[in-house]
Amino acid sequence: MEEVSSRPAGGPPLRADAQRNRIRILVAAEEVFTETGPGASTEEVARRAGVAIGTVFRHFPTKGDLLGAIMKRLLAELIESAGERGGGEGLFEFFTELTAQASYKRTVVGLLESGGTAVRLPEAVGHLSEAVGGLLSEAQAAGTVSPSVELPEVMALLVSVTHGALHGGWDAELRERTLAVVFAGLRPR
Amino acid sequence: MEEVSSRPAGGPPLRADAQRNRIRILVAAEEVFTETGPGASTEEVARRAGVAIGTVFRHFPTKGDLLGAIMKRLLAELIESAGERGGGEGLFEFFTELTAQASYKRTVVGLLESGGTAVRLPEAVGHLSEAVGGLLSEAQAAGTVSPSVELPEVMALLVSVTHGALHGGWDAELRERTLAVVFAGLRPR
DNA sequence: CAGGATAATGAGTGGAGACTCATTTTGGAA
DNA sequence: TTCCAAAATGAGTCTCCACTCATTATCCTG
């Protein structure tokens, strides 16, 4: 869980007040978008950050830029979480974790659905794919996932089920039962 | 595939021009919402129907009413399609059909996701559940689906995968590979 | 074929939300 | 301290869209 960066990429260093506000905005945006989803208004982010709306737009010229900034962070977290796992069950654990978190990570889910194109982060999504690909290979090496399974359908299922869990408001039991079916489908016969 | 009803439920019979326009609006709405999804504007529906915007609102006081009217039709079609299938493979066939159609039936998918609450059609969604439940029972009786599988997770997977296919723009191959995993998970071990 | 009821019309209203910019405030280098 | 470039401010613009309503046109009944 790395810190929120206080500076945009490149350019001259920011003034102290600008650094402070940039962080406030990012923190507020992560809260707001995590709670409400990408549809939340920029106005609400500004209010929560305690700055004027114009300040938000000075730091992030479009709403997409703001969304992109926090997505990058959230995605990095996900990739890190995938990287920490491994072995025969790592893929299943990651799947379970993501699904369970879906309810309070509306934004990531929204991003994944778009393949990152909505906020121009295809590379980041690519990295997640790689990380999941690693988990898949390990699981297949350990014999817990059928060798005929490939990465695209694993990503497809990951995104679909996570979205379903989020928008369908699945309770813990339904989540477990649904994942059980998917996992049974992934395991060798 | 029943015809578009030319009269609203109850009330006195409509004038000839009103009947004509009502049908035009429903046809246009089905086209527009099927192409663009529930976010399409009422203005666009009116344009496509060749009537003024006010006429649309005279027939359907809110956008939700209009959506509800066409959803009812589309859902009925789905339920009918489910009802026509059966045997060991009926459930798999229905699953496959719905997924393949997702790309041009954005509206139904949107509705299913909301459980019908967005347009007040929970009974209709309930009927679809029943139909799928019938397919599930038949498949289990035929031994093609594991007896431990229950209806809620089947519906959850149906909705998730259909949504994924739609929003992820899956090609035929990915669709097939993803469904293969799900079907393997449903089949007895 | 009148004439009143029914329906169609489309400019207008209201609200939401992304984004702008003239003005004011503030940080920090000299 | 001085002073100006950087930054903050927030009312205002623009666009989109659901929805309204006074006016006009069209049915259809007697």
Q: How far is CA B120 from CA B29, B36, B112, in A?
A: 18, 21, 12
- Which CATH code for domain A16-61? 1.10.10.60
Among B136, B137, B82, residue whose Cα is nearest residue B112: B82
Chain A interface, Cβ < 8 Å to B? 113-115, 146, 149-150, 152-153, 156-157, 159-161, 163-165, 167-168, 170, 174, 177-178, 180-186, 189
pLDDT at B2: 46
pLDDT at B125: 79
Cα distance between residue B80 and residue B62, in whole Å = 28
Name the band, by pLDDT with cuts 50, 70 and 90, for residue B12: confident
pLDDT at A1: 46
Cα distance between residue A165 and residue B157, in whole Å = 10
Name the band, by pLDDT with cuts 50, 70 and 90, for residue A169: confident
CB-based contact B182:A155 (threshold 8 Å): no
Q: Kindly determine whether residue B160 and residue A164, on different chains, have CB atoms separated by under 8 Å.
A: yes
Cα distance between residue B41 and residue A150, in whole Å = 40
The yes-or-no verdict on residue B6 having pLDDT over 70 is: no
Cα distance between residue B92 and residue B111, in whole Å = 21
The yes-or-no verdict on residue A80 having pLDDT over 90 is: yes
The yes-or-no verdict on residue B116 having pLDDT over 80 is: no
* Å between CA of B138 and C1' of C15: 52
CB-based contact B141:B95 (threshold 8 Å): no
The yes-or-no verdict on residue B11 having pLDDT over 90 is: no
Among B179, B181, B4, residue whose Cα is nearest residue B92: B179
Residues comprising chain B, all counted: 189
A170 sits in the region (left: phi over 0; alpha: psi -120 to 50; else beta) called beta
pLDDT at B1: 47
For the ranges A71-80, A140-149, B43-52, B150-159, which has the lowest average pLDDT?
A: A71-80
Q: Tell me the pLDDT tens digit for each residue of A25-47.
A: 999 999 998 888 888 999 999 99
The yes-or-no verdict on residue A21 having pLDDT over 50 is: yes
Residue A81 is which amino acid?
S
Find where tokens 């974790």 sit: A97
Across A81-90, average pLDDT: 96
